[in-house]
Structure 1
Amino acid sequence: MLEIGMTAPDFHAESTEGPVRLYDDYKGKKNVILIFYPINNTPGCRKQLCDARDAQPDYEQLDTAVLGINPGKFAGHQKFTAKHNFGFPLVFDDRWQIVANYHVPTFSGMMVARTVLIVDKDMKVRYINKGMPSTQELITAIKEINESSQSL
């Protein structure tokens, strides 16, 4: 697993909103919440991603974007997004390369363990949670990241 303070690995991947390039799209511009989730359209994943959708206005005010990442089928990502109108990209990690580069735990190599990271504008990992943190916990972490960045 990556550790706090490490540089986040760059990635280029397809998503439900077109190509995503972590460094090109976000470096120097926005913090990024990376939500690695197990399976499209299961109750826990639906709750987690719908919570992120509902908190998007708060995240945007804090210069923070959201990316959901999962190695599931691209068509499944599209259906899941259409059904819940997420408003943020679900990244298609078909070769499990992003999962591997971020050292996200898996269950027998068959399913991603729910993991949330926050990467700051300098592409440093600033927060890691192996679970489903609340929206308030994420907002608090982002505020701390933004405050510490301003004091540098």
Structure 2
Amino acid sequence: MELKVGDKIPNFKAKDINGSDFDSQNLVGQKSIVIYFYPKDNTPICTAEACSFRDQYEDFKDLGAEVIGISNDSIDSHQKFAKQYQLPFILLSDTDKKISKLFGVSSGLFGILHRRVTFVIDKNGVVQMIFDSMLAPKHISKALETIKRLVA
């Protein structure tokens, strides 16, 4: 099942880069959320995308939104990726692909890696925008535009 604009996001749990339990229910009802699925840590386009989210992270935070990056990479890979590029936002490991299945982000390349898809979810957990494109830089601007519209 693929999520559509207007759908409520499913509850999901995962491990963050510290190996701590993350539960989406702790954010829904509190703030808007930008969830971006990306193919792989330390690849050129994914690194550029992560660094763009890093560079604009304070803009998202100032608007009351949290950013979450999700890929199939391991916690160890995420730790190294976050440390190397000083990523301040949440990275979640989806090695079993449960979260990508919940969101309908079917695997892209050869069924192995995530597609590049960004979701903007309002404070109530309702999907307000879905952007599915391999053009990484556009994800940040589209998400920020949508968050600005939500708080206006």
- The normalised TM-score by structure 1 is 0.91
Match of 2:119 among 94, 117, 123: 117
Provide the C-alpha distance between the structure 2 equivalents of 1:139 and 1:115, rounded to a whole number of angstroms.
Answer: 14
1:28-68 Cα deviation digits (max 9, x unpaired):
21111101000100010001011001101100111000000
Q: Distance in 2 between matches of 1:103 and 1:138?
A: 19
**RMSD (Å) for aligned C-alpha atoms:** 1.2
> What does residue 41 of structure 2 align with?
40
The one of 133, 141, 144 aligned to 1:136: 141
Change in 2 beyond 3 A, CA 1:50/1:136: same
Classify the secondary structure of the residue corresponding to 1:35.
Answer: strand
Structure 2 unmatched ranges of 5 or more: none
Aligned positions of 1:18-57 closer than 5 A: 18-24=20-26, 26-57=27-58
SS of the counterpart of 1:7?
A: coil
Number of residue pairs matched by the alignment: 146
Does structure 1 conserve the Cα–Cα contact (< 8 Å) formed by 2:118 and 2:143? no
Matches within 5 A, 1:50-65: 50-65=51-66
**1:150 maps to what in 2?**
none
Distance in 1 of aligned mates of 2:36 and 2:86:
16
